[in-house]
Structure 1
Amino acid sequence: MARRVLILVEGASNMLRYVQAAQHHGLHPIILSANPTQYEYLASESVEIIRVDTNSIDALIHECSRLDAIYDIAGITSAMELTYATVGKLCRHFELPGPNPESIERCCDKFVQRQLLAGVGIPIPAYRLAANATDVERSAAEIGLPVIVKPAAGSGSRGVRLCSSLDELAEHTTYLLGGKHIWRSSPRILVEEFALGPHYWTEIMGDEVIGAGTCGFGPPPHFVYHQYVFPAPLTDAEHELIADVSLSCLRALGLGWGPTNIEFRWTKRGPVVIEVNPRLSGAPVPEVVQAACGVDLLTEHIKLVIGDQWNLCRSQSQTGAARFLVADRDGVLDWIDGVSRAAAIPGVVQVKLYVEPKRPIVRKGDERDCIGHVVAASPTPARTQAILQRATDLIDWSITSFPARGEH
């Protein structure tokens, strides 16, 4: 009998957990990647990694057909937004459960997403599409400063900035169009109204809203996540409203299979949709959700992918939260200490580092500024925050700044 395999097309921060969840489910994980060296950290996990051009659907079909002759392919998925539409096409080709690729592509184009949401009356910020510096300046004048300026495609807050003055607007436009930002297609910039209010997100599987969380960012003009809390401190009526808007987004975008996460700002108009992401949230959100309510989003996603019965029933009711360890300067990480002591505190669920000592750190004003996280859970929000504070206070590190230009 052929071995059952789960094919993972590229990955992100959740790749290790996808691999482990697949193995726990009796599946042999196989990763298809254009750059297998990025998964060297999985060497001890008995995972097969195959080099293939993951931007080419023909190359992927050819490789999956070869594997199909050797194994029993139980499912194909991805932990990465950039390849999720391609996964949908692969699933369709091999007659496996998967997302609608056309819906994923529309959703990943933030301008098209905005148009579709606006078309059915879902509250969103005012927005304009720009292709050059003149367009950006005109759009900002029409909307009114401050504005959010960001690429029309991408994730992880890369290239996203709050611009409060014409100088900041010109500086960030130059950054985006001047060769520093990596574009996967022709440059297209979204200029958006800055929606003021607390930030929330909903976690969805299929057409079921699992719950809503809240998050906080570091100082502007960047949007570097500093903390997640789940569930958010919302009234029943507020939770029902945010869930209803979430389901309206799924209908407007043709989603409703697999995981989705939706970001909001709660403004004077109520919940305003900032972004719909047709994928599972990156780490440590699944860990926070599982710590809070007992639902393992990755495992349930895998069950969906391979056609098994999935289960979103809550097994506990706690407040889960994560706090990020954020680099305070550019330079070389000399040392980081206190991780084991922090992990030993009752209520701490996970302490994870993203970088090792002696590695260079260059802050980008996005997710790459984070060097690790701590996840905790307890019966009350206040206690969870106290646990997180105690744990993060124990972790310390030293970064030696890079020499100034001209120094030796």
Structure 2
Amino acid sequence: MSYLDPAIAVIDPVAAAGPYGREGTAIGFRVICVLTQEYRTPYVTQTFDPADFSEVYQHSCIDETVAFLKSRSVVAVVPGAPPSLKIVDVLAESLGLIGNPTESLEARRNKRVMKEYWTRHEVPCAAFHESGDLESVISWADGRGYPVVLKPNASVGGVHVFVCANRQEVVDAFNVIVSRADPYHQQFSTVLAEEYLDGDEYFMDLAHTGGGEAMPVAFAKYEKIQRNGNASIYKNMFSLPLDDPIALAALPYVRSVNDALGVRYGINDTEFKMTSRGPRVVEVNNRLPGASVPLMIQRCSGLNVFQENIRIFVDGRRTSGDYHFERHYNICCLINDQPGVVQGYAGLDEVRELLSYDGERMIAPQGVHWPVTRDLDGCWGLIRLVHEDREQLSRDAEAVHAMMRLLVA
């Protein structure tokens, strides 16, 4: 890779965005890493290797970062991890590159503003209320009726997301949200309260190319458990066919959800529930999905979403018409029930013998204290399963959760 090769900048290529460096290099780009902050948690840092990038630049202010990227003649600016959404469109606009409109930037990163935009555009969504005053949140919850959901306005991976059944649970959740930072070191002074939505939860990933209808890249169903009020303890993510009846029924709605936020370019992730009243959006993550989903999309459809997203931000075009899954995946998120210092992992050898086993990522390092799993950040490992037979995937997923245990002392 030489300075004659075109350059792109990826903002915060950590967590699920870590592969951008090598994937961009593989299709002929110099890939510059721009970090907006320091990252420390294992789930976020494990996938990041500075050697995958031609340069690593520490962002401090927009003007200086724009000047640096101009000096490197970058041809695209690509969003990585969630904190990148604060600046990626501002950088693209300042550099005259493809990006999404800055006037709706907050609507693509702040969940309260998202809901205000959906309400304004008559896109059905959960009722909501945001406040930094506990009594205001309690009053809204009392008036709305329990259960209610409490979360930060820019939550990630289900961190500090609670389902509250009464006033005391609202008080407890409020205090956690305003006092504890999330894995990306974000601190919140307000709490977003939402109507609890019934039904199963799904995610759909769309490829947006600046015009025409966004195309579905992936569709999957979440299996989550709730424990001690924690609403989003991830267990499984099962892919579904892109022509699944639920996907076809929800697609126009998911497109309208994104249109209302001004999404024009890039592959992004929309989470929604299929409720008794029809589809209702949970949130839009205006970046690639996390938790190894990009790798699974490639293993099942052949589409490299990192490279596809780079191409979209370089020239606004996709490589193909429709996307299609030849196989299916399940990502098993491993749940820890006993806190302690990690000694090792039980069941891994047996899991590797499963018919659909495709790979693993052990997140909890040995010798480190690991907590009880309450969200995706507390997941101690990911087991990737791939197979043509979705029933086989279900059987193997049950086996994974039965056999795998985190050994702690």
TM-score for both structures, normalised by structure 2: 0.87
Change over 3 Å in CA distance of 1:251–1:24 after alignment to 2 = same
CA distance in 2, matches of 1:261, 1:37: 23
Query: Is 1:61 aligned to 2:102, yes or no?
Result: no
Displacement of 1:324 after TM fit? 0.8
Instruction: Determine which of 372, 383, 388 is the counterpart of 2:397.
Output: 388
What aligned pairs does 1:304-315 form with structure 2 within 5 A after superposition?
304-307=312-315, 309-312=317-320, 313-314=322-323
Aligned to 1:249: 257
Amino acid corresponding to residue 370 of structure 2 in structure 1: I
SS at match of 2:25: helix
CA distance in 1, matches of 2:404, 2:67: 48
Query: Is 1:328 aligned to 2:337, yes or no?
Result: yes
CA distance in 1, matches of 2:119, 2:324: 37
Instruction: Determine which of 18, 21, 29 is the counterpart of 1:19.
Output: 21
**8 Å CA contact retained: 1:348, 1:388:** no
Amino acid corresponding to residue 69 of structure 2 in structure 1: C
Amino acid corresponding to residue 371 of structure 2 in structure 1: V
Aligned to 1:360: 369
What aligned pairs does 1:1-400 form with structure 2 within 5 A after superposition?
2-34=4-36, 42-43=48-49, 45-54=51-60, 56-66=61-71, 68=72, 72-177=73-178, 179-181=179-181, 184=186, 187-206=189-208, 207-220=214-227, 221-222=229-230, 223-231=232-240, 235-236=244-245, 238-307=246-315, 309-312=317-320, 313-314=322-323, 316-339=325-348, 342-343=351-352, 345-363=354-372, 365-391=374-400, 393-400=402-409
Root mean square deviation, CA, Å: 2.6
CA distance in 2, matches of 1:388, 1:268: 28
SS at match of 1:219: strand
Q: Percent identity?
A: 17
SS at match of 1:306: helix
**8 Å CA contact retained: 1:77, 1:84:** no
CA distance in 1, matches of 2:146, 2:399: 39
Change over 3 Å in CA distance of 1:390–1:121 after alignment to 2 = same
Change over 3 Å in CA distance of 1:104–1:219 after alignment to 2 = same
Report Cα offsets for 1:139-159 as digits up to 9, x if no partner.
Answer: 101110110011122322222
CA distance in 2, matches of 1:287, 1:50: 24
TM-score for both structures, normalised by structure 1: 0.87
Change over 3 Å in CA distance of 1:150–1:41 after alignment to 2 = closer
Unaligned runs of 5+ in 2: 209-213
**8 Å CA contact retained: 2:220, 2:238:** yes
Q: How many residues align?
A: 393
Q: Identify which range, 2-11 or 240-249, moves more after superposition.
A: 2-11
Report Cα offsets for 1:55-90 as digits up to 9, x if no partner.
Answer: x21231233234x2xxx5232212112222411121
Unaligned runs of 5+ in 1: 401-408
**8 Å CA contact retained: 1:85, 1:99:** no
**8 Å CA contact retained: 1:85, 1:100:** no
CA distance in 1, matches of 2:48, 2:194: 40
